[in-house]
Structures are given as C-alpha cells and as structure tokens.
Chains A and B, each alone.
Chain A
Amino acid sequence: MAQEQEEKLFLPRFITTDENFAPGHRACIGCGEALAVRHVCKALGNNVIIVNATGCIEIFSSLLPLTSWRVPWIHTLFENVGAVVSGIESAYKARIRKGKIEDRGVVFVGFAGDGGTSDIGLQALSGAMERGHNFLYCCFDNEAYMNTGIQRSSSTPYGAWTTTAPVGKKSIVGQMTWKKNMPEIAVAHRIPYVATASPSFPFDLMDKVKRGMEIEGPAYLHIFSVCPTGWRCPPEITVEIGRLVVETGIFPLYEVINGEYHLSVDFPELKPVREYLKKQGRFRHLTEKDIERIQARVEEEYQRLKEKVGGK
C-alpha cells in the first residue's frame, strides 16, 4: 500500500535535478546511506553548510584530492559534529550582527552516522540541542559502525549479528540489547522539530528536511539507512528493506513538532517482522522464539508511539 501511495505521489520532475552530492562517490554498491544523503541534499539546496562526522559518508565522499560535495562541507572528527556546527552558526550570527557579512539565511546542517550520533557524539549533540543553535542534524542510521567494519553500536537492533556482537557457540543471539531510541532522546531536549525518515519514502524525507530547515532552532532528523554490506543482504533490495522496516512498524515514520506527535504513514495492519528479518543475513541465526520476542517488542513500542500521537 505504501508503495502505491508513493507511486501516486511520484512526481520526480518536481524535484530538482541538481545533485549537490555528486556521482562518482565511493559508497558500496547499493548503499542506502548514499541514497539517503542524495535525497537530503536535494531538499537542502545550495544555501547550506554541511558538517560531517567521520564515518562511511565522509570516507566515500571526500577522498583527496577530490570531493563529491557541491556545497560547503567540513569534516573534522568523529564525535564533534554538534559542536562544530554550533561554532559555524555562532560565527555567522556574530559576523552578521557586527556587520561583517550579510544575512543570507544560510542553513547549518550536521551529518553523522548512528555511532557518531547515539554513542560517541551524543554529548556534543545534546549540548548543541540544549543551547538552541539554529541547525538541522541528520543521523544516518545504518545500525552499526560500518566504516570500521560492522561493529555494534547502541543503535544496532536486538538480535543482529555484528563483528563485535558475533553469533558464537555460547552467545547465539548477536546483539543482546534493544536499540537505543535516539529520536526520543532528541525529543527530551524539547527542541522544536524531531522526525524519522527513510529514503524508501523519498518525498516524505525531503519534506521533513525542508521543515527542519525552516524551523527556527534545533531540528533532528533520524534517517534509516540500509547497508547491504553490513546487513548481509543483496544490494538491489536496499529500497525494499527501507520500506519493509516501516511497514512492519519496526521503524515508524513520524514527526514531533513542538512536542506534538504526528504519524507520517499509518497502516491498518503491520506486516510481520519476520518478512523484514528474513531478508537479511545479519538476522539469519534467529530462532522463532527470538523473532516472537522482537515481534512483541515492536508491537509494544508501536502502540506506545500511537498513544503519543493520540494523546495530542
């Protein structure tokens, strides 16, 4: 159903043909993170400055002496995107006030992976959100440290195999903890805009980027980014996986605008999580019992989210 919805809405001729994230980048074949970056950049336009954390995106886009970026872009370290973007925003603010430059409404944007966001970069991001800088932060969540070789992060889902949460003779589940709910952490900062998105729903994603840009103050966008290499799935199903994760309720698409929850797509009935899990090698080892556990947890979380939506 969702696909049909998207198809009807499909008006690619209404979106820019500009590719500010240029082709010739070195992401793996079928990389969902690269696709997500492409969509985000289409929505961002030209009047932006991007701050990128260390991780796959930085590596596949900036191998010296070349760059994939057609907008101003800076990478410094892994865990400091929130702080660097704060510095840039403050520099513009001060220089505009002091009459050194004109105010041309430049948008300041942070890019980081799930590791760079929900683990090592959480403190810097929290600081930036708390201080209320005017910026949009995009977390590209491929559910592990992919750049360093598929190590687990706090964003890795329960049951997933990774190189540091392997499936062994004794430990047979892989990741033993539940995925950290990073969007809720952003919501807890009472910032004006928090949303989730998936590039399999590109128009929804681009709308959210635009809303995040327009809103005054911090905006947080959590983007599901399929990684065929790390998830052990064939590259051609990248978009399908990014759709299934939403249709199963595992990664619901929603917005929290000034504290009010809105579901972006709802389904009368969720697809069973099995359909999603079975397509990926990282979940291959899961038993029926494990899958049931995941199913129960997903339903519970989804219910909780719907209550928040209803509660408003």
Chain B
Amino acid sequence: MTKRRIVGLEGSFAIAEAVRMANVDVISAYPITPQTHIVERLAEMIADGELDAEFICVESEHSAMSACVGASAAGARVFTCSASQGLELMHEVLYIPSSMRLPIVAVAANRALSAPLSVWCDHSDVMAIRDIGWIQIFAENNQQAFDLTVCAYRIAEDKEVLFPAMVHMDGFYLSHVTEGVMLPDEEEVAQFIPDYEYPFVLDPDNPVSMGCYGPPFIYPEAKKAQEVDFEKTKPKIQEVWNEFGDTFGRSYSPVEEYQMEDASIALLTMGSSGETAMLAADEMRAEGREVGLVRLRLWRPFPFKEFREAVKDVELLVVLDRALSFGMGGPVCSEVKSALYEKRKELNIVGFIGGLGGRDIPIDGFKYMVNRAVERVKAAEWGEEMGPEMIGVRE
C-alpha cells in the first residue's frame, strides 16, 4: 500500500527530507560547514514549491535560534541546524527554549572547535552544550539521521514533553556521505507527527507573558519544575521510538547493545564511530575475545537505568571520547564514571580520547584501546589514577 522507497542520500539530504515531510512552518539558519548542505537543500525545496515554509536567512546563529524561539512561541513548527562555532555562538540562546518549553527541533553536524580552525568532525561542540536542557540524540548513519529527526518532532511536541530536541550527526562522516536511506511515505510521516497545538501561543486573543523575570524566591522552583519534567521525558521518548518501530520497522532505544551477551569487556561510543567499533567487536569476537559494544543514543536526558543495565555484567568498560575537557579528560568518560559510581565499584573504566578534528579511528584503533585498557588495568596498583590517553597522536 504505502510508497516506501530506498534512495541514495547524503546525511544532509536525509535530514532535509525529514524536515520536508514534517511540513515545518519556519526555518531559520545560518550556514556553516559541514551543515551547509542541509540548508541549501531546504532552500531548494522551498524554491521548488516542495515545502511551504518561511526561510529566515538570518545574519548569525544567535539570531537563527532566536528566530526559532519567536516562531515556536507563535505556534509554528520550526527547524534549524548548525555546528561547531555556530552552536557556540547560539549557546546563550539554547537555554531559552528548554526553559520556556518550546519544542524546537535542531540538527547539529558535529564539528571541532577553533583554534586551530577545523571544519572536521569531533564532539567538542556537543560537549560544550551538554547542559542546555535539550533532548539530545545521536545518529550513527543516514537512515538514523532521517528516522530520529522525524521522531524528534513527535517527541518534542508531545504535550507531556514540550522540550526542544537536537539530533547529532557527525560532520562529513554522515552529512556528506551518501548511503541508501529508506524513505517512508509522506502520508505516513504526516500521520506520525500530526499538527500540534502549543498550549500557550503568542496570540492577542489570549494574552500571556513569556520569559518573565525570576528573582531568588522563585528561580529554584522554576528549575525544579524543569528538571522533573525533563526526567519524565525518558519513557515518552522510548514510547515514540517503539511506535516508530511498529509503523516503519526500525526502532531505537536510549542505549543500544551489540555483542553484549556474556561480554566481559565493553567499548562505549557515541555517533558514527559506533559503526567502526561494531566491526572491531566482530573481529575481536572472531579472535575469541568477549568484547561487546555499547552505543549511547540518548545523551540527554542521560539514560542512567538503561546504561547501568547494559554494563551490569562487564568487568572492563573502554570509553571513547571525541572531545577533550582540558584539565579533566574525556567528558563522556567522566559522566559514565559518575553514572556508575554508586552501583559498580568493581568495574574498571578506562577512557581514551581520539578522533579529534576529523582524525579517523580505524578498526585497529578500537582494538588498540581494548588491549591497552586491559594492559593498564593489569599493571595498575590499587588507587592509581587511570587518566585518559590520547590515541593516534604523533610524538
């Protein structure tokens, strides 16, 4: 019945397709590599009459997000996308829709931060916006980029959610690489994300004040309400992903396991490197080693329960960070450690930093990490610091 088809699309175009099928009202974005193909494709769709939306060609990312905030508060379905310096420039604005509860959907084509200037992929930009209060989801391939963007609208606009959502896809690895993507029927997507009614829109018939001033007697209450509601989005996110699976045949979960049954060693990745890590796990399994892989799909709100469950039987967790928190190590590794501290004293966690500024991590890179982690744990005295190691760096 339905007209599903597989099309060769680069990640950027897959995103644009999702946005078109979501029938957004307003797009506001500013170009930055490697996000440019998304906005160019969307502009083309509007010019060709394939999408009926206002495209605000703003003069900065700060204004891009600000215009989205305004449009969303006026009841529109909106989209924006950015990366790296652009996300940093809009950083201040990112806290606004999560605090004012505006269901904006955005895509980040993850890229390193200057200096030196680099247009290539890493997760420095993601880590700089960890605490903005958005739902943050990682895609590992172009199909996921499409699916998760469609789902992001449904999640964000759910009356019990009303939080902005950001889909992360690795710059170039996904944004510029063509893969086969199964595109669903537009009608099906329209049904999956129906028109939504925001409970409070800026409307002269029903005047409300948004973004009022919060002195100390009320600010903590505002933040408590926000945090409680944010935590409550987790079951809703899973529900939407399940329903997506029922309709379209591909379902997702906050933490995804690969080769984890009876694994004593687990690798942990986020984003496109998960695909290489799978191959590494396969090879190591073939060599008879009990290595599995855990991929974090839902980065915020952090899926504590699912994550602890996924690693409950492993003895060694090897964490890859594609970002560096100067003077602290790998941000994902720190978070993972804190997520497990209360539950798994006997678990060894070793962090590595790699793939900065677009440096590739080959299959052997993952094997190296596993071997090196085992070695370090064996050699370590009790209480010795397991500081992070940067891999693949020339002396």
A and B touch in the complex (CB under 8 A): yes
Q: Which of A's residues lie within 8 Å of B, judged by CB?
A: 46-49, 51, 58-59, 62-65, 67, 69-77, 79-80, 82-88, 90-95, 97-98, 100-101, 104, 106, 123-124, 126-127, 130-131
List residues of chain A with CB within 8 A of the CB of B195: 100
CB of B66 within 8 A of CB of A88, answer: no
CB of B25 within 8 A of CB of A94, answer: yes
List residues of chain B with CB within 8 A of the CB of A124: 59-60, 62-63, 66
Q: Is B214 an interface residue (CB 8 A)?
A: yes
B52 contact from A74, A83, A98, A123, Cβ within 8 A: A98
Q: A74-B70, A123-B59, A124-B63 are in contact. List 5 more A-B contacts (CB 8 A).
A: A76-B211, A83-B63, A88-B74, A91-B26, A130-B59
- With CB as the reference atom, state the residue of chain A lying closest to B208: A72
In Å, the complex CA distance between A54 and B78 comes to 24
CB of A87 within 8 A of CB of B74, answer: yes
Partner-contacting stretch, out of B124-132, B199-207, B307-315: B199-207
B202 contact from A62, A72, A79, Cβ within 8 A: A72
Binding site of A, secondary structure by majority: helix, strand, loop or mixed?
mixed
| Residue of A75, A80, A85, A106 with most chain B CB atoms under a 10 A cut-off | A80
B209 contact from A67, A85, A95, Cβ within 8 A: A67
In Å, the complex CA distance between A101 and B208 comes to 18
In Å, the complex CA distance between A101 and B201 comes to 12
Closest 5 CB pairs of A and B: A87-B70, A87-B67, A83-B63, A127-B59, A83-B66
CB of A72 within 8 A of CB of B203, answer: yes
List residues of chain A with CB within 8 A of the CB of B7: none
CB of B59 within 8 A of CB of A126, answer: yes
Q: Is B336 an interface residue (CB 8 A)?
A: no
Looking at chain B, what size class is its interface with the partner chain? 35 or more
Q: Is B54 an interface residue (CB 8 A)?
A: yes
List residues of chain B with CB within 8 A of the CB of A51: 70
Q: Is B28 an interface residue (CB 8 A)?
A: yes
Count contacts between A and B, CB distance < 8 Å: 162
In Å, the complex CA distance between A77 and B76 comes to 20
What is the 8 Å Cβ interface bit string for chain B, positions 71-115, against chain A (1 contact, 0 not)? 111111010000000000000110010001000000000000000
Q: Is B56 an interface residue (CB 8 A)?
A: yes
Q: Is B218 an interface residue (CB 8 A)?
A: yes
In Å, the complex CA distance between A98 and B25 comes to 8
- With CB as the reference atom, state the residue of chain A lying closest to B219: A64
What is the 8 Å Cβ interface bit string for chain B, positions 198-238, against chain A (1 contact, 0 not)? 00001110111111111100100010000000000000000
B97 to chain A, nearest CB (A): 9
A-B contact pairs, 20 of them (CB 8 A): A47-B204, A62-B211, A70-B207, A71-B204, A71-B207, A72-B207, A75-B211, A76-B93, A83-B70, A84-B69, A86-B56, A86-B63, A87-B26, A87-B28, A87-B56, A88-B71, A90-B56, A91-B74, A123-B60, A124-B60
CB of A91 within 8 A of CB of B209, answer: no
- With CB as the reference atom, state the residue of chain A lying closest to B195: A100
CB of A95 within 8 A of CB of B211, answer: no
In Å, the complex CA distance between A89 and B326 comes to 42
List residues of chain B with CB within 8 A of the CB of A74: 70, 73, 202, 209-211
CB of A83 within 8 A of CB of B25, answer: no
Q: Is B294 an interface residue (CB 8 A)?
A: no
In Å, the complex CA distance between A84 and B28 comes to 11
In Å, the complex CA distance between A82 and B215 comes to 26
List residues of chain A with CB within 8 A of the CB of B72: 87, 91
In Å, the complex CA distance between A65 and B218 comes to 8
List residues of chain B with CB within 8 A of the CB of A63: 212-213, 215
CB of B67 within 8 A of CB of A64, answer: no
List residues of chain A with CB within 8 A of the CB of B296: none
List residues of chain A with CB within 8 A of the CB of B222: 64
Q: Is B278 an interface residue (CB 8 A)?
A: no
Q: Is B53 an interface residue (CB 8 A)?
A: yes
In Å, the complex CA distance between A71 and B202 comes to 9
List residues of chain A with CB within 8 A of the CB of B317: none
List residues of chain A with CB within 8 A of the CB of B66: 76-77, 80, 83-84, 87, 124
List residues of chain A with CB within 8 A of the CB of B206: 72
What is the 8 Å Cβ interface bit string for chain B, positions 264-278, against chain A (1 contact, 0 not)? 000000000000000
List residues of chain B with CB within 8 A of the CB of A72: 202-204, 206-209
- With CB as the reference atom, state the residue of chain A lying closest to B201: A72
CB of B207 within 8 A of CB of A73, answer: yes
* Contact A86:B213 (CB < 8 A) given known A72-B202, A95-B25, A95-B76: no
List residues of chain B with CB within 8 A of the CB of A79: 62
In Å, the complex CA distance between A106 and B208 comes to 15
| Residue of B54, B57, B75, B214 with most chain A CB atoms under a 10 A cut-off | B54
CB of B67 within 8 A of CB of A49, answer: no
In Å, the complex CA distance between A230 and B207 comes to 32
* Contact A76:B56 (CB < 8 A) given known A71-B204, A87-B70: no
A100 to chain B, nearest CB (A): 7
CB of A94 within 8 A of CB of B70, answer: no
CB of B56 within 8 A of CB of A131, answer: yes
In Å, the complex CA distance between A82 and B202 comes to 16
CB of B74 within 8 A of CB of A49, answer: yes
- With CB as the reference atom, state the residue of chain A lying closest to B57: A131
CB of B210 within 8 A of CB of A73, answer: yes
CB of B218 within 8 A of CB of A85, answer: no
Q: Is B15 an interface residue (CB 8 A)?
A: no
In Å, the complex CA distance between A100 and B198 comes to 13
In Å, the complex CA distance between A64 and B218 comes to 7
A77 contact from B93, B209, B210, Cβ within 8 A: B93
List residues of chain A with CB within 8 A of the CB of B58: 83, 86, 127
A47 to chain B, nearest CB (A): 5
